[in-house]
């Protein structure tokens, strides 16, 4: 496990920085689902004591990202098939609504930005670039939520987004999903460009329904 940190963290923001680094490492699977977090190793790598590590792990447990087991240590949560389905059902409703709202706040510049996220991907190369594609997917969905300009929706999405990100690399690599996902994203962008709120919502919901169907076919329950 390499968290990419070569220097000790500056003390004024030490606790927050340790928390951010650990959280990012988990969300982007530098520490994988179900993996035990080596407190001593992380502390040594970051050049800090174990106290801010433990404090960060407690915060992450409260967010449902980490599970602390007495006398065994802290482990990254591994979502069961049932949990994934529940998350995706909620995501379908929220992001579908976000796409509908976003239609009223998107200009041609935003449409072009969305297209740029996927420009370098094709059916020929997408399977070999799953991590890059997961990043593009994250940017796309984040931008749509932002363009909804609904603060309550974005607040609720923020609670869900960490768990969505934990699933992103796991679902984007499912057999057959990358190619279909790329086409689905492009159709959503077209609906947004055409200023069609009903179509944008329908396509977004269909997109996430298809992820859910792939999960049901490919991921075994814990």
Q: How many CB atoms lie within 10 A of CB 217?
A: 11
The overall average pLDDT reported for the chain is 89
- Asked which of 8-22, 76-90, 109-123, 198-212 is least confident by mean pLDDT, the reply is 8-22
Torsions phi, psi of 74, nearest 5?
-105, 135
Same domain, 148 and 204: yes
Same domain, 59 and 126: no
Residue 5 in any domain: the answer is no
- Asked which of 40-49, 111-120, 159-168 is least confident by mean pLDDT, the reply is 159-168
Measured between alpha carbons, how far is 103 from 191 in angstroms, rounded to an integer? 8
Domain boundary (31, 58, 76) is at 76
Instruction: Enumerate residues 6+ apart whose C-beta is below 8 A from 46.
Output: 3, 5, 8, 9, 18, 21, 53
Helix 177-193 to helix 197-218 angle, to the nearest 10 degrees? 170
- As a whole number, mean pLDDT of residues 165-177 equals 76
* Two structure tokens written together for 171: 């679902």
Same domain, 15 and 44: yes
Domain boundary (76, 93, 128) is at 76
Same domain, 110 and 146: yes
Helix ranges, 28-150 (H): 39-46, 50-62, 81-102, 108-118, 130-148
Residue 6 in any domain: the answer is no
Residue 115 in any domain: the answer is yes
- Report how many domains make up the chain: 2
The CATH number for 120's domain is 1.20.120.530
Give the structural domain span for 195: 81-218
pTM over 0.85: no
Same domain, 58 and 113: no
- As a whole number, mean pLDDT of residues 192-203 equals 97
Categorize the per-residue pLDDT at 10 as very low, low, confident or very high, splitting at 50, 70 and 90.
low
Residue 4 in any domain: the answer is no
Same domain, 117 and 210: yes
Residue 189 in any domain: the answer is yes
Per-residue burial over 7-22, b if 16 or more Cβ lie within 10 Å, else e, is eebeeeebbebbbebb
Same domain, 22 and 126: no
Tell me what percent of the residues of the chain surpass a pLDDT of 90: 65
């Amino acid at each position: 496990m390499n968290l990419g940190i070569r220097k000790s963290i500056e003390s004024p923001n030490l606790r927050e920085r340790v928390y951010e680094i650990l959280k990012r490492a988990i969300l982007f699977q530098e520490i994988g689902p179900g993996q035990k977090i080596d407190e001593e190793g992380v502390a040594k790598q970051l050049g800090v004591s174990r106290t801010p590590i433990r404090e960060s792990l407690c915060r992450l447990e409260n967010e449902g990202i980490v599970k602390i087991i007495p006398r065994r240590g802290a482990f990254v949560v591994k979502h069961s098939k049932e949990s994934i389905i529940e998350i995706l059902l909620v995501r379908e409703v929220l992001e579908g609504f976000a796409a509908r709202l976003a239609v009223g706040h998107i200009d041609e510049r935003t449409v072009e930005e969305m297209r740029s996220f996927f420009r370098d991907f094709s059916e020929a190369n997408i399977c070999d670039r799953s991590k890059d594609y997961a990043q593009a997917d994250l940017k796309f969905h984040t931008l749509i939520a932002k363009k909804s300009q609904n603060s309550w929706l974005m607040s609720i999405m923020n609670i869900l987004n960490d768990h969505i990100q934990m699933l992103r690399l796991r679902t984007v690599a499912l057999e057959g999903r990358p190619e279909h996902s790329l086409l689905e994203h492009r159709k959503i962008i077209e609906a947004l460009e055409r200023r069609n709120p009903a179509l944008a919502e329908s396509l977004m919901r269909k997109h996430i329904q298809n992820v859910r169907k792939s999960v049901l076919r490919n991921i075994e329950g814990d």
